[in-house]
A = this chain, B = another copy of it.
């Protein structure tokens, strides 16, 4: 150990005292555990139970169908999309909430291929979709289906290989902003520019970045993006995902799932499909109101919080965690898979170690909640809204003690 426990405890206390975001923890329901699994399921925001009770008792129980208008149920997907927008650097009117991430990946990849196809002669020869080979698997499975159903070939490459893999054959590229396993942050601006340079369309999966760091969708000209809302956005288990379609592409967005909610006149009951303009074109069927309005309430915890301040704290937390691990854990016991440079790091730290499954079980019984990713990874997510520096120091200490006890 390069620094003593008391030194790091002291340092943690000083960092917490100087932390301008520390009061945000009060906006959540938390216990004494150190919850470092917000990148799997965000903690419960304190205002959500009351909001959900109102949806159930009053909106559904009393107003019933009147709530589609009077409680704003019908417009919830776009309204909540606009609430997410500033967190990912999007102007209003470009994000719609609904369906799962997987379903939105399907919409986005198929739509991107169709955009490339529509671009004319050059587009017709674009027979390849590139997909992040290190992706969370569902994106790859869905991209494979999108390729099969649009007559394209799917080619898995690492994000680093994308620039060389791009060619006049490339129709679309599906990438993760942050790698779910290692926590590596990919170069969204640079890769998007390279994809555009090749005449292809960029689809980004923001599951592990939205709510943890600035994304800058509009600033970097991203074409389409998807993301879940139950990690750093704290929307609750399986809360609906979202789809971003850049404004100038919306008139050409051609959904493979053209449900009645995306019709220009959904209650006209016309047998002919005519898509609405704007973000609503990304909708499909009836929105799942309970999950959706729980998410809407959860997003209130962001009131007055800038994503830049969250990012600064996130980097300080992961830096401090790595510092504490280095100090507390005997050398050689764990290896960080998470890049050291800030420009390449998301909001999590992934440590490879022997017997990781057993280690994580033990950590959880000791009140340090992270998760295990097959085959040998301990994954710790740092949600700056409710994780403090004292939590980080304690997690590293319990990790060191656990490794010692299981040795």
| Size bin of chain A's contact surface | 35 or more
> Does chain B have a CB within 8 A of A211?
no
Q: Which of B67, B137, B141 contacts A237 (CB 8 A)?
A: B67
Docked-complex contact B102 and A271, CB < 8 angstroms: no
Contacting residues, chain B, for A374 (C-beta < 8 A): 267-269
In the bound complex, CA of A103 to CA of B284 (Å): 7
A-B contact pairs, 19 of them (CB 8 A): A29-B61, A29-B62, A44-B56, A44-B57, A52-B52, A65-B371, A73-B238, A99-B99, A99-B100, A100-B285, A102-B261, A138-B259, A138-B261, A156-B271, A236-B290, A237-B290, A239-B290, A240-B288, A290-B294
* A48 interface contact, C-beta 8 A: yes
> A271: which B residues are within 8 A, CB to CB?
133, 137, 140, 156
Stretch at the interface among A34-42, A163-171, A398-406: A34-42
In A213-263, which residues have CB < 8 Å from any B CB? 228, 230, 236-241, 255-261, 263
Cβ-defined partner of A257 (8 Å) among B68, B102, B133, B369: B102
User: Contacts of A342 on B, CB cut-off 8 Å?
Assistant: none
Q: How many copies of this chain does one complex carry? A: 2
In the complex the two chains form, is A286's CB within 8 Å of B65's CB?
A: no
Question: Which residues of the partner chain B approach A133 to less than 8 Å between Cβ atoms?
Answer: 271
Q: Is A101 interfacial (CB 8 A cutoff)? A: yes
Q: In chain A between 265 and 324, which residues have their CB closer than 8 angstroms to a CB of chain B?
A: 267-271, 273, 284-292, 294
Interface segment among A143-151, A333-341, A389-397: the answer is: A143-151
Contact partners of A273 in chain B: CB under 8 A: 137, 140-141, 144
Given A65-B369, A156-B271, verify A236-B291 contact (CB < 8 Å). no
Residue ID in chain B nearest A234 by CB atoms: B60
Q: Which residues of B contact A100 (CB under 8 A)?
A: 99, 259, 284-286, 288
Contacts of A37 in B (CB 8 A): 64-65
Given contacts A44-B60, A271-B156, contact A256 B286 (CB under 8 A): no
Contact with A289, one of B269, B291, B369 (Cβ below 8 angstroms): B291
When distances are taken between beta carbons in the complex, the residues of chain B under 8 Å from A73 are 237-238
State whether B53 touches A141 (Cβ < 8 A): no
CB distance from A10 to the nearest CB of B (A): 30
* Cβ contacts A192-223/B at 8 Å (1 or 0 each): 00000000000000000000000000000000
Chain B residues lying within 8 Å of A328, measured Cβ to Cβ, are none
**A49 beta carbon closer than 8 Å to chain B:** yes
Residues from chain B with a CB closer than 8 A to the CB of A40 are 65
Given contacts A237-B73, A286-B228, A289-B291, contact A260 B60 (CB under 8 A): no
Query: Which of chain B's residues have a CB closer than 8 A to the CB of A152?
Result: none
Across-interface contacts of A191 in B (CB, < 8 A): none
The complex places the Cα of A73 from the Cα of B290 at a distance, in Å, of 16
Q: Does A382 contact B (CB under 8 A)?
A: no
Q: Does A43 contact B (CB under 8 A)?
A: yes
- Determine whether A142 belongs to the interface, using a CB cutoff of 8 Å to chain B: yes
